[in-house]
């Protein structure tokens, strides 16, 4: 009987021939923690009476959620992370370096076939480059730091077959919002998602990250894609590590298979207060918008900034706009290409590379009754730090179109 | 372990931002302090209403969203004895096992606000005393029972120094 990508990677890393629903202890290739989760992990590490991490070369810690620190208490937690990383000799990314999920692939830490955990729910992002990566909590992170291992239930797999090519003005963000709206917020709970088909093949690797990033929003443990030539080229540009890509067998067993034709898909928007409350743009166009956000681990990459800038160029925003590039490298590239100048001239506020206002700790907390449209992955009530605000989610193009109009707008009106 | 208490009922898709909101979650490691804000955005009176041993009961996909362990830890520190739901989001589920917050997966249609529940975790049975019924509970896999019975993953590692399920 054939195997899915998840079954193959967990078989290799556990040294056993495993199938869905088996429970294994598997060896980890890389481990990540951010500033919202690492302090509790360091506390657990100490309580577990450990002295050294298993391998400093396979661990990174990132300050991105509250960067730079907005509060005294947070500064103290950041300092604990800096001390721990320094003592243990682990790779450390400080304020301004970027969002963890941009940094791990960009800096070459993760490569196809790897098994990776991160203490952040959007760790599933690297599935786009054929990595079985999944989010865990702080105690799991501590156990990983000590032993280099973690227990996993081998997930069943939900296969999404995506046919056709996305039309102009419609992006990978619209595609994943559409899938989440269709299968709902718990449509893939306890499962791995596998995304296949010509629609995926037609996307750049950067655009694919957006799709894998949001696998968790349908409850999935991982959001996997096979490695094609584009993946191999991208990974070799970013990493010197050797790797072995993993393909699903033709006779692999899937818990569910759904097929979609994306060639007539319209821009999609998730309405407050759940990610699966998705509508085509026509149903929400005209909704007044007070603040737009472009950035985050979902859509803060250079391609996203290029798309937004192409719409904002020579125009002024009617709503406030916050732009948070996803890493220092992305921001530097955006400066070189003149994109930051376009944002600033349009009236945007450009903030430090990092999670920006997405997690509600700083950098743009909305006020009571305000509507925000964001390229982020979550619109939960209170997510951005005010439970009396309303968050809509869309592509960078939809956010750019909306802040120009001062209301939710269709980016296809701005295609040049 | 026998748990007894009253029900505080919630709906489907209770996410981690509801459990502990964005305004508070990353400020401190003092979980007693964070516990005061548990469920604040769904019910501002929640913390003051809870009596030690009470249950949170919900629909499907409880704990969806973030991987923050502040969510189960804040629930534990609000003196909730267990969370009962139709299904749980997977990271939250792991975090509960690791931090020692008992989870009960079962049909919650016949449990209402204010009902008196009693749970026998060893036997895997939930009694709704107010309605006089017994509800079947999905049993936990051995690996998770082992971690829970050791008192969470920290205690497991203190005992063995690594994972030990033999």
- What confidence tens digit (pLDDT) does each residue in A85-110 have? 999 999 999 999 999 999 999 999 99
Indicate whether A256 and A284 sit together in one domain: no
Is any Cβ of chain B less than 8 angstroms from the Cβ of A39?
A: yes
Q: Using the beta-carbon criterion (under 8 Å), do A65 and B28 form an inter-chain contact?
A: no
The residue out of A231, A260, A289 marking a domain boundary is A260
pLDDT in tens, B141-164: 889 889 988 989 999 999 999 999
Is any Cβ of chain B less than 8 angstroms from the Cβ of A28?
A: no
pLDDT in tens, B121-145: 878 899 999 999 999 998 888 898 8
Largest CA distance in chain B: 45
pLDDT in tens, A258-291: 999 999 999 999 999 999 999 999 999 999 999 9
Q: Using the beta-carbon criterion (under 8 Å), do B154 and A139 form an inter-chain contact?
A: yes
The pLDDT score that the predictor gives to residue A58 is 98
Nearest to A136 by CA among A157, A112, A120: A120
Q: What is the C-alpha separation between B76 and B11, in angstroms, rounded?
A: 20
What's the mean pLDDT in B17-37? 82
Indicate whether A180 and A116 sit together in one domain: yes
Indicate whether A274 and A347 sit together in one domain: yes
Q: What is the C-alpha separation between A327 and A313, in angstroms, rounded?
A: 22
DSSP code of residue A411: G
Minimum Cα–Cα distance from B147: chain A residue: A151
Of A140, A146, A147, the CB nearest to B98: A140
**Best of A14, A70, A139, A146 to mutate (most B CBs within 10 Å, chain B):** A139
pLDDT in tens, A388-400: 999 999 999 999 9
Phi-psi region at B127: left, alpha or beta (left = phi > 0; alpha = psi -120 to 50): beta
Residue B27 pLDDT greater than 80, yes or no: no
* Domain boundaries, given as residue ranges, for chain B: 2-160
The predicted complex's ipTM stands at: 0.89
Indicate whether A23 and A163 sit together in one domain: yes
Indicate whether A256 and A334 sit together in one domain: no
Residue B22 pLDDT greater than 80, yes or no: no
Residue A198 covered by a domain: yes
Mean pLDDT score of chain A: 97
Q: Per the CATH hierarchy, to which homologous superfamily does domain B2-160 belong?
A: Aconitase, domain 4 (3.20.19.10)
Residue A169 pLDDT greater than 70, yes or no: yes
Is any Cβ of chain A less than 8 angstroms from the Cβ of B68?
A: yes
- What domain count does chain A have? 2
Q: Using the beta-carbon criterion (under 8 Å), do B61 and A219 form an inter-chain contact?
A: yes
The residue out of A260, A290, A324 marking a domain boundary is A260
The pLDDT score that the predictor gives to residue B26 is 63
Indicate whether A256 and A274 sit together in one domain: no
Q: Using the beta-carbon criterion (under 8 Å), do B23 and A359 form an inter-chain contact?
A: no
Helix A205-213, helix A302-312: angle, nearest 10: 100
Residue B111 pLDDT greater than 80, yes or no: yes
Residue A83 covered by a domain: yes
| CATH number of the domain where residue A307 is located | 3.30.499.10
Residue A2 covered by a domain: no
Residue B38 makes CB contacts below 8 A (sequence gap 6+) with B19, B20, B46, B47, B74, B75, B78, B80
Residue A138 covered by a domain: yes
Indicate whether A78 and A116 sit together in one domain: yes
Indicate whether A207 and A174 sit together in one domain: yes
Torsion sign, CA atoms A347, A351, A354, A359: negative
- By residue count, chain B amounts to 166
The pLDDT score that the predictor gives to residue B122 is 76
Say which residue the tokens 């791995």 belong to.
A192
Residue A416 pLDDT greater than 70, yes or no: no
Residue A406 has which token pair?
A: 């001062």
Residue A304 makes CB contacts below 8 A (sequence gap 6+) with A206, A294, A375, A396
DSSP code of residue B49: H
Say which residue the tokens 């001239």 belong to.
A345
Q: What is the C-alpha separation between A44 and A135, in angstroms, rounded?
A: 17
The residue segments making up the domain with residue A65 are 7-260
pLDDT in tens, A220-243: 999 999 999 999 999 999 999 999
Indicate whether A241 and A380 sit together in one domain: no
Is any Cβ of chain B less than 8 angstroms from the Cβ of A52?
A: no
Indicate whether A195 and A280 sit together in one domain: no
The residue out of A260, A288, A303 marking a domain boundary is A260
Indicate whether A246 and A167 sit together in one domain: yes
pLDDT in tens, A321-370: 999 999 999 999 999 999 999 999 999 999 999 998 999 889 999 999 99
Indicate whether A108 and A227 sit together in one domain: yes
- Report CA A36 to chain centroid distance, whole Å: 16
Residue A1 covered by a domain: no
């Amino acid at each position: 009987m054939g195997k899915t990508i998840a079954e193959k990677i967990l078989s290799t890393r556990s040294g056993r021939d495993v199938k869905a629903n088996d429970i294994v202890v598997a060896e980890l290739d890389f481990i990540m923690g951010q500033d919202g989760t690492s302090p509790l992990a360091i506390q657990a590490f100490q309580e577990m009476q450990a002295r050294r991490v298993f391998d400093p070369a396979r661990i990174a810690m990132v300050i991105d959620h509250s960067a730079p620190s907005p509060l005294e208490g947070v500064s103290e937690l950041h300092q604990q992370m800096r001390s721990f990383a320094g003592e243990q000799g682990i790779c450390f990314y400080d304020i301004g370096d970027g969002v963890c999920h941009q940094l791990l692939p960009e800096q070459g830490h993760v490569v196809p076939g790897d098994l990776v955990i991160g203490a952040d729910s959007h760790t599933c992002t690297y599935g786009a480059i054929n990595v079985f990566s999944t989010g865990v909590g702080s105690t799991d992170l501590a156990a990983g730091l000590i032993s280099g291992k973690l227990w996993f239930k081998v997930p069943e797999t939900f296969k999404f077959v995506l046919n056709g090519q996305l039309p102009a003005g419609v992006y990978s963000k619209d595609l994943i919002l559409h899938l989440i709206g269709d299968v709902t917020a718990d449509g893939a709970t306890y499962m791995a998602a596998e995304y296949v088909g010509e629609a995926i093949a037609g996307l750049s690797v950067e655009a694919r990250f957006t799709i894998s990033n949001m696998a968790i929003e349908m409850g999935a443990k991982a959001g996997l894609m096979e490695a094609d030539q584009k993946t191999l080229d991208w990974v070799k540009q970013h990493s010197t590590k050797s790797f072995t890509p993993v393909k699903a067998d033709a006779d692999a067993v899937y818990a569910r298979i759904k097929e979609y034709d994306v060639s007539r898909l319209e821009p999609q928007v998730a309405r407050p207060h759940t990610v699966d409350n998705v509508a085509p743009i026509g149903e929400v166009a005209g909704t007044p918008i007070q603040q737009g956000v472009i950035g985050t681990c979902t859509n803060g990459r250079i391609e996203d900034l290029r798309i937004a800038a192409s719409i904002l160029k020579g125009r002024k925003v009617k709503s406030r706009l916050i732009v948070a590039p996803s890493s220092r490298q992305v921001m530097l590239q955006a400066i070189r290409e003149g994109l930051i100048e376009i944002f600033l001239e349009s009236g945007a506020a450009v903030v430090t590379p990092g999670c920006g206002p997405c997690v509600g700790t700083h950098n743009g907390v909305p006020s009571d009754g305000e509507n925000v449209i964001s390229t982020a992955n979550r619109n939960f009530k209170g997510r951005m730090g005010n439970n009396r605000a309303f968050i809509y989610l869309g592509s960078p193009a939809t956010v750019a179109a909306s802040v120009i109009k001062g209301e939710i707008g269709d980016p296809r009106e701005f295609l040049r | 372990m026998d748990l007894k208490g009253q029900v505080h009922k919630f709906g489907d898709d209770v996410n981690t931002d509801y459990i502990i909101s964005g305004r508070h979650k990353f400020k401190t490691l003092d979980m007693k302090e964070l516990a005061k804000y548990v469920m604040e955005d769904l019910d501002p009176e929640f913390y003051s209403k809870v009596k030690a041993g009470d249950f949170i009961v919900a629909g499907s996909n409880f704990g969806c969203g973030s991987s923050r362990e502040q969510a189960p830890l804040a629930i534990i520190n609000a003196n909730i004895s267990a969370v009962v739901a139709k299904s749980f989001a997977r990271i939250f589920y792991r975090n509960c096992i690791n931090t020692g917050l008992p989870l009960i997966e079962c049909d919650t249609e016949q449990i209402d606000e204010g009902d008196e529940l009693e749970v026998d975790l060893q036997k895997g049975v939930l009694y709704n005393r107010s309605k006089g019924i017994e509800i079947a509970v999905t049993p936990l896999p051995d690996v998770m029972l082992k971690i829970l019975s050791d008192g969470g993953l920290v205690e497991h590692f203190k005992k063995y120094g690594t994972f030990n399920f033999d």
